Amino acid sequence: MVFRWRDTNRFSIVESRINDGFAEAVRAGLGQRPRSIPPRFFYDARGSELFEKICTLPEYYVTRTEFAILKRYAREFPPADTVIEFGCGYGAKTRLLFEAFFRTRRKMTFVPVDISKRALEEVGRYLTDAHPGLAVRAIRAEFDHALQLIPRDPSLVLFLGSNIGNLDHAEAVRFLSALRGHQVLVGLDMQKDPELLHAAYDDPGGVTAEFNLNLLARINRELGGDFDLGQWKHFSFYNAAAGRIEMHLISKGAQVVRVLEETHRFEAGECIHTENSYKFSADQIRAIASESGFRLEKQWTDEQGWFSVVLLS
Ligand code: AVJ
């Protein structure tokens, strides 16, 4: 696809260390017990497409609930000269927010961070077209690495979509600590009826299952693996003690798989842990904020209390 920018000066993209270590992570993850592969590897082209589809599922309340909160309260969020966003994806929420920000400002800089170049280009093209006063300085990198590349002057940082839910408590505190000096708008999915959570992570149409299984398909495509996808089952459940949804891939029978010149033996029922998606309580949000050196400035939620958007400063 060829993009033609109306004004090239207003869009740039830096790509940094984007060999994200998929092979190394898979080798290490299949070699350890219990086996696990980090969820950031879900998002190749096919995985990103499937995730977009998840976001529109009736059972996946997450996206539409957060969107409604943002839409309703956008005017209360503090605009800033520079807005940084971790994990902008295709930027539906970002577009909404900039509509609100540009009611009171004429010039802004937007720094979207994502691993998908296509998503960054699409967001950049749309936003620079829509807002003549906007410059987009995109960063294509892993979140951890991007922390060293974002502007230092006090900015508004967006960390939406409960992307923070992929981090455990210590990781979340470490990530937010690195953002001190900025204001941070964070979207967090709240603890709720496990039935609702189960439905959101195991939809009847099987989109979430396909999203999970795509990780094995990606290993086959990119690392020359020979996973037989018919021999694996998507499994997700709410681990109430840990306050998180866990996603696993379960081996249907005893089998042998070759990946990266190595042989892996699986017994029936053995799993690969592919994702934790933490669900938060009000106390946990307060703890994360204070442990990372922030004040919980403001908090917005929906009528059912399913999702929270908080402003840390
Ligand atoms: C992108 C991490 C917020 O945890 O809800 C959706 C990913 N996994 N369905 C989430 C996901 C299965 C999503 N996050």
Of all protein residues, the one whose alpha carbon is nearest to atom 2 of ligand 1 is 163
- pLDDT of 114 strictly over 50: yes
The C-alpha R_g of the chain, in whole angstroms, comes to 20
Q: Which of 10-14, 189-193, 283-287, 309-313 has the lowest mean pLDDT?
A: 10-14
Which of the two residues, 43 and 188, has the higher pLDDT score? Answer: 188
pTM, entire model: 0.95
- pLDDT of 109 strictly over 80: yes
- pLDDT of 1 strictly over 60: no
Strands 183-189, 307-312: pairing kind: antiparallel
Of all protein residues, the one whose alpha carbon is nearest to atom 9 of ligand 1 is 201
Q: Ligand 1 centroid vs 107 CA: distance in angstroms?
A: 33
pLDDT for the residue 6: 53
Q: Which of 88-102, 159-173, 214-228, 289-303 has the lowest mean pLDDT?
A: 88-102
pLDDT for the residue 276: 98
Rounded to whole angstroms, the Cα distance separating 165 from 24 reads 24
| Residue 307 half-sphere exposure toward CB, CA atoms < 13 A | 23
Q: What is the mean predicted confidence (pLDDT) over 223-245? A: 98
Ligand 1: atom nearest CA of 62 is 5
Q: Which of 58-72, 116-130, 287-301 has the lowest mean pLDDT?
A: 116-130
Q: Ligand 1 centroid vs 211 CA: distance in angstroms?
A: 10
To the nearest whole percent, how much of the chain has pLDDT over 70? 97
pLDDT for the residue 55: 96
pLDDT for the residue 2: 45
Structure confidence at residue 91 as a pLDDT band (50, 70, 90): confident
Q: Ligand 1 centroid vs 297 CA: distance in angstroms?
A: 26
Which of 65, 162, 309 to mutate for ligand 1's pocket (most ligand atoms within 8 Å of CB)?
162
Structure confidence at residue 116 as a pLDDT band (50, 70, 90): confident
Of all protein residues, the one whose alpha carbon is nearest to atom 14 of ligand 1 is 163
Structure confidence at residue 20 as a pLDDT band (50, 70, 90): confident
pLDDT for the residue 3: 47
Q: Ligand 1 centroid vs 277 CA: distance in angstroms?
A: 6
Q: Ligand 1 centroid vs 235 CA: distance in angstroms?
A: 14
- pLDDT of 4 strictly over 80: no
Q: What is the mean predicted confidence (pLDDT) over 122-143? A: 94
Q: Ligand 1 centroid vs 275 CA: distance in angstroms?
A: 8
pLDDT for the residue 117: 87
Q: Ligand 1 centroid vs 55 CA: distance in angstroms?
A: 9
Give the other-Cβ count within 10 Å of 13's Cβ. Answer: 14
- pLDDT of 45 strictly over 70: yes
- pLDDT of 67 strictly over 70: yes
**Backbone dihedral angles phi then psi of residue 7, each to the nearest 5 degrees:** -145, 95
Q: What order do you get walking across the sheet with 244-251 strand by strand?
A: 35-36, 271-278, 244-251, 232-239
Mean pLDDT, the chain, rounded, equals: 94
Of all protein residues, the one whose alpha carbon is nearest to atom 4 of ligand 1 is 277
Q: Which of 89-98, 263-272, 279-288 has the lowest mean pLDDT?
A: 89-98
Contact by Cβ (8 Å): 18, 255: no
pLDDT for the residue 126: 94
Protein residues whose CB sits closer than 6 Å to any atom of ligand 1: 54, 62, 161-163, 165-166, 201, 208, 275, 277
Of all protein residues, the one whose alpha carbon is nearest to atom 10 of ligand 1 is 277
